[in-house]
Structure 1
Amino acid sequence: MRGTVYITPRIIGRWTCILFLVLAVLAVPVTAAGPGTMLTAGPGREYETIQAAVDAASPGSRILVYPGTYPEAVSVIKNNLYIMATGEDVVVEPPNTAGFQVLADHVTIQGFTIVGGKECAPGIKFEGSFNTFADNTIFFTDTCIGVNAIVCRDSDGGSNFNIVEGNTIEQADLGIIFVSGAPGAINRGNVIRDNTFVGISQNPIMITNGRGFLVSGNRIDEAPYGTCIAIGTESENLVIQGHHTIVGNTIGQCGHNGISLCAAPETALTHNIVTKNTIQNCGGDCLALEAGKGATLTNNQVISNSVSFSMFGSGILLEGDQEAVVRDNLILGNIVFNNHLNGISLMAGTERNRIMNNEVQTNDGVGIAIAGDDNVITGNSAHDNTMDVADLGEGNRWHNNEYTPMVGWATGWDENDAAAIIHTVDGGRTWQAQGDLSAWTGVHGNDVSAVDDQTAWVALGSDNRSDTRGAIMHTTDGGATWVAQTIPDGLAGGIKGVKGLSRSEAWAVSLGGRVLHTTNGGTTWTIVPHPTVPMSEVNRIDAIGDGEVWIADTTKSGDERYVIHTTDNGETWRQEPLPDVMPDAQTFIVSAYSTQAVWSVVRPYTDIYRTVDGGNQWLKVAQNVGGANDFDDICAASEETVWVVLNEMLTGNIFKVQVAEDGSVDVQSFRPSSFYSFEGITCMDDRIAWVAGLQFIDRFPDLPLGVIMYTIDGGEHWYSGTGPSNIKYWKVSFVGAGR
C-alpha cells in the first residue's frame, strides 16, 4: 500500500528509547520553576545550597531549607519568594557579605540562624517593599564596629511596608536599621515588632528619614553605648517626617537614651505617638524629644509610659535648640520615677505643650521642671522628689496639680539698714517680704534656717562686738507672724548664726561666742557652756541632730586652727585641728552633710577642708580655689560635693567642688551675674542650689539692691527670682536643704 510504512519491532524499540530520552530531557529543570512551585534545599534535597534554590525559583515559589550549616551569602533579586527554614538547626554562615541580601519585593526570610562576624557583614541587608523578615536568630561571633543585624539602607527611599518581626538579635553593634540618605527620600509604613535584642552595643532600633512606622512589642536588654530606639531625621531632608507609633516596647540598660525622637537642624518630625512603653535604667534621658537648630518638633504624644531609673538624665525630656519650634506636644498619663535628674523636663524654647495627669515621684532632681513658656501643666501628681516642681519660664499655666511647695526664707537688710525677711513658696521664683522689722535699724539679718513650711528661725545681729542688740525671730505659721524670742542679755554682736532642727529644737550662737540651745520651740533659750574650748568671734554654726553641732570660730590658738564640735548636745566640746593652715588663716565657715561628712573653709584664703570620719581627721582637699579672696558661705551637697560662694565686692563667684574617690578634685566656677556679690548659699544636692546676693556699693541704682538666684541643673543655667527691690539679701535657707 502506497505510503504505508511498516515498522518492525526492532525499529519500534529504537524509537521508543528516543521518545523516553526526549521526555527525560524535558523533565530536567534547566529553566526556573513555575509560579507556586515548592523547592527544597539542603543535604540530599533538590538543591544543595540555598542560592541554587533561589536561582531556580520563579516569583511565587516557596523554598524550604532543611537543617544544616550553609556557608554562603544568599542574594535574592526576584520578587515574591518565600524562603523558610524547617527546624531550628538551619544555620547560615556568610563568608564575607550579608547572610541574605534582598533587592526585591514581597520576599519572606523566616526561621534562620545567621552567624555573622566574618568580614563584619550584616545578617540581612535589603531594599524593597512588602518584605517580611521573621523569626530569625542573628548573632555575631567577632567584635564588629558598625555591623548591622538587619539593615535597610535605601539611599533613594521607597522601601515601604516591610515587616521585621519575631527576630532574636544578639551581640551586634547595631540591630534593626532603616536609613534613607538622599535628600527628600524616605521609607514608609514599615513594621518592627516583637523582636528581642540582647547585648547590642549601640542602637538596637534606628529609623532615619521615615514616615508611618510601627515599632511595637520589642524587648531590648542592654545597649551600653547607644540609644535603644532612635528615631530621627537627617539634615537637608526637608520632607516632613513622623507619624510613627512606638508602643508596648520593654527597654532596659540603654547607655544613652531609652527612646529618642530627634529632629535634625532645619527638618521636621511630627505627629508621633509614644505609648505604653516600659523604659528603665538609661544612661541618659529615658525618653527624649529633641529638635536641632531651626527644626520642628510638634504634635507628638507621649502617653501612658513607665519611665524610671535614668542614671544620669531625666525621665522625659522635651528640648529644642536655637530657633527650633517645639510646641503642641502632649505628655499625658505617664509614671515617671527614680530618675537621677528631673522627672519631666521642658527646656527653654519649648512652648504651648501640655503636661497632663502624670505621676512623678522620687526623682533626684525636680519632679516637673518647666523652662519653656506658655505651657499648660494640669492634673499632675508630683511628690517625694528632691524638689517637686520648678517654673522657670513665662506664662505657664498650672492647674489642679498635687505637689509639695518648695518653701524658703531669706534675710538681709533694707535700704534703711533695718533687718528684713522674705519668703517664697515656689522654689525661689517669687519672693514676698514678711514681718515688720523696721524697729531693728542698724541690725542685720545674719542667718536664717527653714525647718518646714510653717517653721523658721532668723538670727539678727551686727558685726560690732560692742553692739549687744540682737534677736532670734521665729515663725510657726509660715511667716504670717514673726516673734522676737526671749534670749539672754548682753550677747556681743547679737546673734550671728542659727540652725533649726525641728519645730521644737534649734541652736544659735552669738558673734562673741555664746552658744544657745532650745528644745521647746524657743520659749526658753539656754546658754550652753564650753569652758575648755574658747570662742571669741563666731561666724557659723551648723547642726544635724543626734547631738551633733559644729561651730566655725575665727579665734587663733597658736599655729592651730580648729573646727569646734560636740557629739552630745554640748555636754563636751572638742577642737578638731585643720591641717596645713597658713599662719594668718582663720576658721570661717562649717557645713555638715552627715555626722561623718563635714566641710569647712578658712579665710583669707580659698582653701577647702573636709572630714569623712566625723571629725577625727580633717584633710585639705582643695587649695586656692578662688584666688586671693574669702569664701563667704558654703553648703555641703554630699560627701563628695560642696557649693561655695565668694564675694568679690563688685561682683561674685560660685564654685562647685567635687572630690573623687582617688582624691582628684574637679572645680566648676559660675558667674551668673555681673551686678551682685554673693554672700549666702543653700543647696539640696549637686544639682539644685540657691544663692543670695547684694550690691555692696549700690553701683546700679536702676537694679534691685539684692537678688536670689537658683539652678536646678548643677549650675549650667541660673535663674533670678523676683522680690522686693529694696532689700540686700545675705543668707538663704530652704526646707529640706543643706541650710
Structure 2
Amino acid sequence: MAMQQIKYMTCLAAAALGGLGTAPPAEAGDRHVVHPGESIQAAVDAAGPGDTVFVAAGSYRESVLIKEPRVTLRGAGRRTVIRPPTSRAENACGHDGNGICVIGSPGHRLPGVTIRSLTVSGFKKNGIWATGTSRLRVRDVDARNNGQWGIALQKSVRSSIGDNTARGNGDAGIFLANTVDEEGGATDTHGTAISGNRLVGNRIGITVRRTRNLRVDGNAVTGNCAGVFVVGDESRPRAGDLSVNGNDVSHNNKHCPATKRLPFLQGIGIVLTGAEETRVQANRVNDNVGKSPLSGGIVLFPSFAKAPNERNVISGNVALRNQPADLANRDRDGSGNGFAGNECRISEPADLCRQARAVLRARFFSGSTSGVPSSRIEAE
C-alpha cells in the first residue's frame, strides 16, 4: 500500500512538472512599429505596460507624450529624428514646446519608461522632459538645438541617463532638479546616474539643482560656456551628498550673456554653490579660460541664496591651464571644505595647490602612492 502511494505521488509530481514545462512563457510585451508618415503618438497610445514602440529611421514632425508605465520608445539610431510639428501640437507635451514628455500623475511616479536610440531636435523648450518618474532610462539619445534643456528631469528617482549626446541647447544639456517651478528641500534621487554622456556647445553641460544621492560620472563636457554646476540653496535638506567623478571637463570657453539668475558665463569647469558633502574626484578639468566671476577649473562659489558650501571634498583631480585659477575657493562663508591630492598650478587662495603637493609628497615618502601616477609625483 505504501509503495502504491509513493508511485501515485510520483506520477502526480511528474504531471505537474510536465505541465509547468509546457506552459506558455510570460507575456514579453507587444511591438508597435512606426514608419515615416505614421503617428508615433498613436502607437504610444496603443501600447501597454511592457510594450515597445519602435520608430523606423526617418523624420517625424510631432511631440510624444508617454503616460503608461514600462513603455519603451526606441528609434533606429540617430537616423530616427523627432522635430517640432509644423501645425498646432496635438498634446500637452507639444503645447508646452517639448519634444518627448514622460509624465507621472500626482502622488504616483511613473515607473520603468525607456527612451533610446533616437534624435530629438529643435523644440522651443526641452528635447526630453520628465516629471514624476521612477527608473526612467534615457540611452543613446541625441538631444540637440532645443531652446532650453536637452534632457531634463524633475521629481524623479532612480533614473539612468547615459551614453547620450546633448549639444547646442539653450541652457543645460542635461538638467536634473527637485522641482523647477517652486522652492523646496533637495530631493533624494535614490541613486540616479548621469554617466557616459557627451555635452557640447550648450550654455551649461550638466546642471544638478537641489538634489541628493546621485552620481555624475564619466561624462565628456567640452565647448560649453560652463561645464558642471552643482547648485543648492538654504532649503532643507541641503543639496549635496553626491559624486562628480571621472569626468573630462575641458575647453568650456564659449561666452554666454548674463541672466536674472547668473552673471555671464565663460571658461567654467566645475562649480559648487550652496552644496554640502559633495565629492569631486578624479576629474580632468583643463583649459577652461574666462573672466566671469565663476571662471576657473574647480570653483567653490558663494550661493546667491546665501547658502554656504560645507564639507565638500575636492581630491585627486588633474586641473591645469585654467584661468584665472585651477582651483578656487571663493566662498568665504563656507566651512569644512577640503582640497587634497590634486594636480594643479594656480589656486585661490594660493595654498590649495601647495596642499595638494604636500599630500602627494606624503604619499610618496610613506610608500603609499596608490592611485597617483609616478609622473605626477616626479613633476612635483
The question of a shared fold, defined as TM-score above 0.5 by the shorter chain, is answered with yes
**How far did residue 300 of structure 1 move?**
1.6
> In structure 2, do the counterparts of structure 1 residues 240 and 356 end up closer, same or farther at CA, with 3 Å as the change threshold?
farther
**1:229 match:** 228
8 A contact 2:157–2:192 mirrored in 1: yes
8 A contact 1:330–1:355 mirrored in 2: no
Q: Distance in 1 between matches of 2:311 and 2:98?
A: 39
8 A contact 2:214–2:241 mirrored in 1: yes
Aligned with residue 326 of structure 1, among 330, 335, 359: 335
- Give the aligned residue type for 1:99: G
Matched, 1:343 2:344: no
**2:240 match:** 242
**How far did residue 290 of structure 1 move?**
2.8
Matches within 5 A, 1:250-649: 250-254=248-252, 255-263=266-274, 269-282=275-288, 283=290, 284-292=295-303, 295-311=307-323, 313-321=324-332, 324-327=333-336, 329-337=337-345, 342-345=346-349, 358-359=356-357, 378-379=358-359
Structure 2 unaligned regions, length at least 5: 1-25, 86-93, 104-109, 253-265, 362-377
Per the alignment, in what secondary structure is the counterpart of residue 301 of structure 2?
strand
- Residues 559-590 of structure 1 show CA distances to partners (whole Å, capped at 9, x for unaligned) of xxxxxxxxxxxxxxxxxxxxxxxxxxxxxxxx
Aligned length: 298
8 A contact 2:309–2:334 mirrored in 1: yes
Matched, 1:132 2:130: no
8 A contact 2:72–2:114 mirrored in 1: yes
8 A contact 1:41–1:48 mirrored in 2: no
Q: Distance in 2 between matches of 1:185 and 1:35?
A: 39
8 A contact 2:316–2:343 mirrored in 1: yes
Matched, 1:195 2:197: yes
Per the alignment, in what secondary structure is the counterpart of residue 207 of structure 2?
strand
**How far did residue 343 of structure 1 move?**
2.7
**1:40 match:** 32
**How far did residue 355 of structure 1 move?**
7.5
Q: Distance in 1 between matches of 2:243 and 2:350?
A: 22
- Give the aligned residue type for 2:164: N
Q: Distance in 2 between matches of 1:335 and 1:344?
A: 14
**1:212 match:** 213
8 A contact 1:333–1:356 mirrored in 2: no
Matches within 5 A, 1:724-735: none
Matched, 1:100 2:112: no
**1:566 match:** none
**1:54 match:** 44
Q: Distance in 1 between matches of 2:79 and 2:360?
A: 52
Q: Distance in 2 between matches of 1:273 and 1:260?
A: 12
**How far did residue 185 of structure 1 move?**
4.8
Q: Distance in 2 between matches of 1:68 and 1:38?
A: 22
Q: Distance in 2 between matches of 1:83 and 1:129?
A: 16
> In structure 2, do the counterparts of structure 1 residues 325 and 55 end up closer, same or farther at CA, with 3 Å as the change threshold?
same
8 A contact 2:176–2:207 mirrored in 1: yes
8 A contact 2:242–2:277 mirrored in 1: yes
**2:371 match:** none
Q: Distance in 1 between matches of 2:27 and 2:207?
A: 36
**2:257 match:** none
- Residues 219-259 of structure 1 show CA distances to partners (whole Å, capped at 9, x for unaligned) of 111113xx210001134x22122111111111112224200
**How far did residue 121 of structure 1 move?**
2.4
**How far did residue 331 of structure 1 move?**
1.4
> In structure 2, do the counterparts of structure 1 residues 129 and 256 end up closer, same or farther at CA, with 3 Å as the change threshold?
farther
> In structure 2, do the counterparts of structure 1 residues 278 and 183 end up closer, same or farther at CA, with 3 Å as the change threshold?
same
8 A contact 2:80–2:119 mirrored in 1: yes
8 A contact 1:83–1:109 mirrored in 2: yes
Structure 1 unaligned regions, length at least 5: 1-33, 264-268, 348-353, 360-377, 382-401, 405-739
8 A contact 1:36–1:62 mirrored in 2: no
**How far did residue 140 of structure 1 move?**
1.6
**How far did residue 92 of structure 1 move?**
0.8
> In structure 2, do the counterparts of structure 1 residues 279 and 355 end up closer, same or farther at CA, with 3 Å as the change threshold?
closer
**2:122 match:** 116
State the Cα RMSD in Å. Answer: 2.8
- Give the aligned residue type for 2:157: N
**1:171 match:** 168
Q: Distance in 2 between matches of 1:208 and 1:239?
A: 12
8 A contact 2:242–2:278 mirrored in 1: yes
8 A contact 2:269–2:297 mirrored in 1: yes
- Give the aligned residue type for 1:336: C
TM, length-normalised to structure 2: 0.72
Q: Distance in 1 between matches of 2:119 and 2:188?
A: 27
- Residues 701-726 of structure 1 show CA distances to partners (whole Å, capped at 9, x for unaligned) of xxxxxxxxxxxxxxxxxxxxxxxxxx
8 A contact 1:184–1:238 mirrored in 2: yes
TM, length-normalised to structure 1: 0.38
- Residues 482-534 of structure 1 show CA distances to partners (whole Å, capped at 9, x for unaligned) of xxxxxxxxxxxxxxxxxxxxxxxxxxxxxxxxxxxxxxxxxxxxxxxxxxxxx
> In structure 2, do the counterparts of structure 1 residues 242 and 186 end up closer, same or farther at CA, with 3 Å as the change threshold?
same
Per the alignment, in what secondary structure is the counterpart of residue 242 of structure 1?
coil
**1:67 match:** 57
**How far did residue 344 of structure 1 move?**
4.9
Q: Distance in 2 between matches of 1:325 and 1:197?
A: 29
Q: Distance in 1 between matches of 2:334 and 2:144?
A: 41
- Residues 305-361 of structure 1 show CA distances to partners (whole Å, capped at 9, x for unaligned) of 1101223x211112324xx3412x321211103xxxx335279xxxxxx988624xx
Per the alignment, in what secondary structure is the counterpart of residue 268 of structure 2?
coil
> In structure 2, do the counterparts of structure 1 residues 242 and 185 end up closer, same or farther at CA, with 3 Å as the change threshold?
closer
Per the alignment, in what secondary structure is the counterpart of residue 65 of structure 2?
strand
**How far did residue 60 of structure 1 move?**
1.7
**1:467 match:** none
Q: Distance in 1 between matches of 2:175 and 2:143?
A: 14
- Give the aligned residue type for 1:109: I
- Give the aligned residue type for 2:250: G
Q: Distance in 1 between matches of 2:167 and 2:186?
A: 30
- Give the aligned residue type for 1:150: I
- Give the aligned residue type for 1:49: S
> In structure 2, do the counterparts of structure 1 residues 87 and 176 end up closer, same or farther at CA, with 3 Å as the change threshold?
closer
Q: Distance in 2 between matches of 1:62 and 1:223?
A: 35
Structure number with higher relative contact order (C-alpha < 8 Å, ≥ 6 residues apart): 2
| Larger Rg belongs to | 1
8 A contact 2:279–2:313 mirrored in 1: yes
- Greater helix share, 1 or 2? 2
- Residues 402-440 of structure 1 show CA distances to partners (whole Å, capped at 9, x for unaligned) of 9x9xxxxxxxxxxxxxxxxxxxxxxxxxxxxxxxxxxxx
**How far did residue 301 of structure 1 move?**
1.4
Q: Distance in 1 between matches of 2:136 and 2:61?
A: 24
**How far did residue 260 of structure 1 move?**
0.7
